[in-house]
Chain A
Amino acid sequence: MDEELTQEYGPKWSDQRVERMLGALVCGVVALLLALIVTVFVRAWPSFSHNGLAWFSSSGDVEEQLNAISLSAQTSGEFVYTFHAWPLLWSTLLITGGAVLIALVSALFVAVFIVEFAPEWMSNILQPVIRFLASVPSVIYGLLGVLVLVPFIGNHLVTEGQKASVAGVISLTGYSLLAAVLVLTLMIAPLMVSIFSDGLRAVKPGWLEGSLALGVNRWRTTWKIGVRSARPAIVAGTVLAVARAIGEAVMLAMISGSVAFAPNPADGLIFIYEPSRPLAPTIVKNIDQLSSPPFNATLFSIAAVLLFSAAVFSLAGWTARRAMQKYLAP
């Protein structure tokens, strides 16, 4: 039918032509993504091939390794690639994991509150608040973290005894795991709340009413029926939040402490006051070294790990969503 109608409009904006033009644009965007993936991994290859799986291991001081890499480009022709990134990986794991766990629980409660329990006026306030918190630029969170939260932790939460106990290893100034986790939680929780509450709103009213009619109170109905049927949305929101948390560079560069140090939970509660530096901030902090070939490869290898883990998480989320949807009504 479309083909016949096309004739009247002439060749300039004919349907076939428009479809082809839009299709070409779409193919271009797909190609751009492929180019990005290929470029990142190709650029990262020297670092991975020199280090092998030792890239993920922990041996030696990461800062010294980075210095050696940057020196090797300036002095001799022989490039050094040795880089063992475990402290950075561990810091990423701790900060992302901590923030996502706290944000998941609190966002779930807030989403349930907005959708089911908050009085009209309260949810009318909360929704714009959540939207606002989600749209505050990360650098503002970083600034508030570094000027308010970090001094507070350094001056009031960390005791002198704790500072003295690790004085030979690292100095506790407030730039810490705790500050990073708290601010990151604040950044990703609003994202989760908005996706969770969309999911909770889409639950079929009949299912909830059925449960209520059986005499189950509203609280339990919400958690047993509402939250459970909204699980695909919860997974989707969590995956998105994890991707944001892994990739957050600037805010963490400002408040996580910028020392390649691996806080050890076995040391007791003091580890939450210890500084560290995740993967993404390492790129930001060393960006002026981008022009030296070995450093370039090292930074791209970090980017490749970030890209790969973001891909793995979204794949895992997609699989989990599919598995859940199988048992639920469409």
Chain B
Amino acid sequence: MESSLQNQPLTVPPVPPPDQQDPPGAHQRKGAVEGTATWSLSDRVGLAICWALGLLFCAIAVAIVAYLLVQGIKFLRPEMLWTPAAAGFTETESGGFSDALFGTMIVALMGIALALPTGIAIAVWLVEYGRPAALARITESTIEAIAGIPSIVLALFGTVIFSSTALGFLSRSTEGVVFGRSFFAAGTMLSLVALPLIVASVREGLNSIPRHVREASYAVGKTKAATTRRILLPTCRPQVATGAMLGLGRIIGDTAIIVVLLGATQNFAPVEGVGFPLNYLRGAGTTLTNFVYEASPTGNLNQPQKAYAAAFVLLLMVLALNAAVDVVHRRARKVGTWSH
């Protein structure tokens, strides 16, 4: 009986009255707007600068999307998406970037699979437990510090960890020398890049749930752990999703860690003598960011057309993630959880 109750999904959480949803300060832009006719010249110049900069940002964003769209349509051939890169002298001979595309997906999956549970657990501990207080403060600073560490430093640290013989089973090793570059290595370090974003987002969600929700759950005899699992986490699902997608965006956009920890090849380099998924995961590979970096005029391949095509695919992924974040936000507002 006990367990069947526990396994029931949570029904819709209580909806707060709509007038509570306005964040403080939201009303200050409404109401009569003063004209600028009475302002002094310098104030009006300032406002003009505001408009100019705002329009400039819009123009730059439009220019980036439009330019990559044009170049992408010009240079992207569908077969590039399922042809691996090959050695060749011209752009037509050298294949596509399917390995890079799959590499991006693998790395994103691994990174988020590690970062999401860890991030949720840390956020839950910080908000719901947080004892002793000193450890909570240290943890907060730690997360902030991880967010501030340059990813190239994380990458160098990764080379030290994953070249150790104890972790040799995560990458290729020949005669005791551990190669240290693999999808495992890159995915693990990339999860650290996504971690602070996920923690921040889930924390915000947990903090926005009013106290009385928790008290109601305790009052019917649920433990703190059960309350968190059955009520608090389902309620802040939009924030969890937002954090995951922001983290995903950072993971697929990161280049430094990939260049250092996944290797400079343009193809999968599976390890011999290991079963199917593991041989690829333990081997070196590439991602779209790495491909763009190598195919740019400063990289080793120097194939700008293919770089444009890959960058276009990458940009589409980023745009899709952005749109997904928007959808989640809008839906959360409609359902009426306690998110802003």
Contacts and interface: CB of A to CB of B under 8 A. Distances in A.
B129 A283 contact: no
A322 interface: no
B318 A136 contact: yes
Contacts of A13: 223, 225-226, 229
The 8 A-B pairs at the shortest CB distance, nearest first, are namely A247-B150, A137-B253, A113-B50, A22-B125, A250-B255, A18-B225, A219-B43, A243-B148
B57 A130 contact: yes
A210 to B, nearest CB: 12
B322 A125 contact: no
B293 interface: yes
Given A25-B118, A125-B58, A253-B298, A147 B304 contact: yes
Interface string A189-214: 11000000000011111001100000
A178 to B, nearest CB: 16
A299 interface: yes
Interface in A19-38: 19, 22-23, 25-27, 29-30, 32-33, 36
Given A2-B224, A6-B223, A8-B223, 16 more contacts: A13-B226, A26-B121, A26-B135, A30-B135, A40-B157, A118-B54, A131-B325, A132-B322, A147-B297, A189-B57, A201-B23, A280-B256, A284-B260, A287-B260, A303-B153, A303-B156
Interface in A163-217: 186, 189-190, 201-205, 208-209, 217
Contacts of B297: 146-147
A144 B150 contact: no
Interface residues of B, number: 92
- The interface residues of chain B, by DSSP majority, are classed as helix
A283 B296 contact: no
Given A29-B122, A143-B307, A303-B156, A217 B64 contact: no
Contacts, number: 261
Interface of A: 1-2, 5-6, 8-9, 13-15, 18-19, 22-23, 25-27, 29-30, 32-33, 36, 39-40, 43, 106, 109-110, 112-118, 122, 125-126, 128-133, 135-140, 142-144, 146-148, 186, 189-190, 201-205, 208-209, 217-220, 223, 240, 243, 246-250, 253-255, 258, 280, 283-284, 287-288, 290, 299-300, 303, 306-307, 310-311, 313-314
B93 interface: no
A217 B34 contact: yes
Contact of B259 (A218, A219, A284): A284
B256 A284 contact: yes
